[in-house]
Amino acid sequence: MSALDQLREPALTKRGLSDVTVVPRRTPATWVRGGGLTTLLFLLPLLFVFGAFSWYPIVRTVIMSLQHTNLVQPATWVGFKNFEQVWHDPLFPIAVKNTAYFAGLALLFGYPVPLIAAVLMSEVRKRRGIYSALAYLPVVIPPVVAVLLWKVFYDASSAGAFNTVLGWVHLGPYPWLQSQQWAMPSLVLESTWANAGATVIIYLAALTSVQTELYEAASVDGAGIVRKVWHITLPQLRGVLLVTMILQIIGTAQVFLEPYLFTSGGPANATLTVLLLIFNYAFGNSLGGDYGAATALSLMLAGFLAVFSLVYLRATRSWSTR
């Protein structure tokens, strides 16, 4: 059962309070007497908060993407003009390419390495806690502090922190954030440092729930460590691996903080991502934002992620069987 199924599983099999009494005819009075008002009261915070700050904005995004809005005059309907405008913006393909590049690099650096680390950690006999704590420590550092700290590390002069260390082994100095080639990988490196620890912990939890008997049986059959990892560990982890992959892709597709704080999308738009482009549309012009373009691009991104997720789930369903 995938995570999705577990979440979708209805609670009908559990008996709730309302099943205990038999209600002959439903009227407002019976509703109130049956505890309907109380239930509603309990739900009020959820309904208010979600209604006002989640569901209503989602609807508004769709509406605003079809309008021209400036906050002074009433909005006018412009059909798909916003979408066309975004599509024809020369920055749009650049942002898409950069976002894909970031997501791809992040997958490359941040996906296999935590797995290897977790497998090694799962076999640590004594004081595994130290490994876990060290791995997770960067995750609790506020992301803004992490980025600003790494910005100092990435000083491109030969006296910069990283360049000094690399200089000890006669490497560098490297331009890091000051180069169109190096900027994005620099961002991914910091992002991996800041986030990989969470993935390690997730993998570790999954690894330690693999049944020992499976390994014992394989050992009896003469399988070595590598074969055990390949034929037992990885298949057992399939579900986790697939879910973390899609979650990581969805997360990195919306990356904003690193490009914004490290480079403002530069140099020369080398680190301009889709989220940063949306931000610039909405908040970049000192005379007022283009909210139509911003919401149109948001929907395009969300639509793409939805389609991608569906394709992904369909493709991996056969591989994630149980």
By CB under 8 A, the residues from 209 to 248 that bind other proteins are: 209-210, 212-216, 219, 225, 228-229, 232-233, 236, 238-240, 243-244
Binding segment for other proteins among 76-84, 101-109, 258-266 (CB under 8 A)? 258-266
Q: Applying CB under 8 A, which of residues 27, 29, 54, 79 lies at the interface with other proteins?
A: 54
By CB under 8 A, the residues from 96 to 115 that bind other proteins are: none
First to last CA, the chain: 7
In the bound complex, what is the minimum distance in angstroms from residue 169's beta carbon to other proteins? 13
Q: Is 257 helix (H, G, I), strand (E, B) or coil?
A: helix
Binding segment for other proteins among 76-84, 98-106, 157-165 (CB under 8 A)? 157-165
Maximal CA-CA distance, the chain: 85
In the bound complex, what is the minimum distance in angstroms from residue 104's beta carbon to other proteins? 18
Structure-token match 């579900």, residue found: 239
List of residues 6+ apart from 78 with CB closer than 8 A: 66, 67, 68, 292
By CB under 8 A, the residues from 187 to 206 that bind other proteins are: 193, 197-198, 201-202, 204-206
By CB under 8 A, the residues from 118 to 147 that bind other proteins are: 119-126, 128-146
Q: Applying CB under 8 A, which of residues 55, 80, 230, 319 lies at the interface with other proteins?
A: 55
Torsion over CA: 87, 90, 93, 99 (sign)? negative
Report long-range pairs for 226-230 (Cβ below 8 Å, ≥24 apart): 229/119
Instruction: Show the site string, 13-52: x = touches other proteins by CB under 8 A, - = not.
Output: -xxxxxxx--------------xx-xxxxxxxxxxxxx-x
By CB under 8 A, the residues from 275 to 314 that bind other proteins are: 275, 278-279, 282-291, 294-295, 298-299, 301-302, 305-306, 309
The alpha helices in 222-321, defined as continuous H runs, are 225-228, 234-253, 257-258, 274-283, 291-317
Report long-range pairs for 241-246 (Cβ below 8 Å, ≥24 apart): 241/115, 242/316, 242/319, 242/320, 243/2, 243/3, 244/111, 244/199, 244/202, 244/203, 245/107, 245/111, 246/309, 246/312, 246/313
In the bound complex, what is the minimum distance in angstroms from residue 313's beta carbon to other proteins? 11
Binding residues for other proteins, rule CB under 8 A, total 158
Q: Applying CB under 8 A, which of residues 30, 33, 58, 234 lies at the interface with other proteins?
A: 58
